[in-house]
Amino acid sequence: MRVVILPTEQEASDFAADFIEKLIIEKENAVLGLATGSSVLLTYEALIKKYQSGEMSFKNITTFNLDEYIGLQPDHTQSYRHYMNRKLFNHIDIDHKKTYIPECFNKDYESSCESYESKVRENGGIDLQLLGIGTNGHIGFNEPTSSLSSRTRVKTLTQNTIKNNSRFFENNEVQPSIAITMGIGTIMEAQNIILIGLGKHKSKAVADLQNHRNAVVVLDNLAASNLKLYDYYIHTEKMYLEYMC
């Protein structure tokens, strides 16, 4: 696992955007796994800038989002579909028909989950999965205790996650407590993973991370501040840039 520690949130996010750009240059019809939340926002802004300046195009890209709240219609302002349109898809040349988000608006959740898994497979699997991490270590909505071989399914959110995400909801808005999420098993099948950790409140969760064969973890200094091997990671990245690039 490559751990890249950069001084600021902006630099960590620019690194993630460059990483995604590189993949798309190599594979213009790449399949991206995407996340919502605050950790990925600056990365999405950087990608939009790259598109606007003509550096890259998303026209042949397919995307699969990690998760969606059960109970929110896609046009609900707190749905992840709405978030993705607002924060990324409406600003780039992606074909909206090729942007997938788990379907939570018909009651047959089991078949929604199965068809999501099939869609990922039909598209050849995920080339690069972008991840944030919850303060309790969740990725997607795979809360602690999720099976490492779990697939896309309905998951009940922990009180910790509900509390953390309440910042996005108005006082009078109902906040869902269940969601459909890709499983850890689904995520682990991605060819590459890039996980973004920003801020001191993530430092405990990132210190507990496990391995994937091609995972890059990009952290700002604050999120890295609990890493026992901080100095080693800084040194290793220097070596990586010197000898591997």
- Binding positions for ligand F6R, rule: CB under 6 A: 35-39, 66-67, 132-134, 138-140
CB of 62 to ligand F6R, least distance (A): 17
CB of 60 to ligand F6R, least distance (A): 23
CB of 53 to ligand F6R, least distance (A): 26
Please say which residue, 60 or 169, places its beta carbon nearer to ligand F6R. 169
Active site residue 171: no
Active site residue 170: no
Whole-number Cα distances in Å, 16 to 39, 86, 98, 133, 243 = 11, 20, 22, 14, 21
Contact 158, 53 (CB under 8 A): no
Q: Supply 99's token pair.
A: 């942007």
Give me the residue whose beta carbon is nearest to ligand F6R: 132
Q: Which residue has the tokens 């991206």?
A: 32
Please say which residue, 105 or 234, places its beta carbon nearer to ligand F6R. 105
> Which residue of the set 138, 164, 212, 220 is catalytic?
138
Active site residue 138: yes
| Distance between CA atoms of residues 54 and 32, nearest Å | 20
Q: Supply 206's token pair.
A: 């990132």
Please say which residue, 94 or 179, places its beta carbon nearer to ligand F6R. 179
Active site residue 60: no
Please say which residue, 134 or 183, places its beta carbon nearer to ligand F6R. 134
> Which residue of the set 9, 14, 65, 67 is catalytic?
67
CB of 171 to ligand F6R, least distance (A): 19
Q: How many CA atoms lie within 13 A of 89 on its CB side?
A: 23
Query: Shortest CA distance to 201 belongs to which of 222, 182, 180, 187?
Result: 222
8-state DSSP, 142: B
Q: Give the catalytic positions in this structure.
A: 67, 136, 138, 143
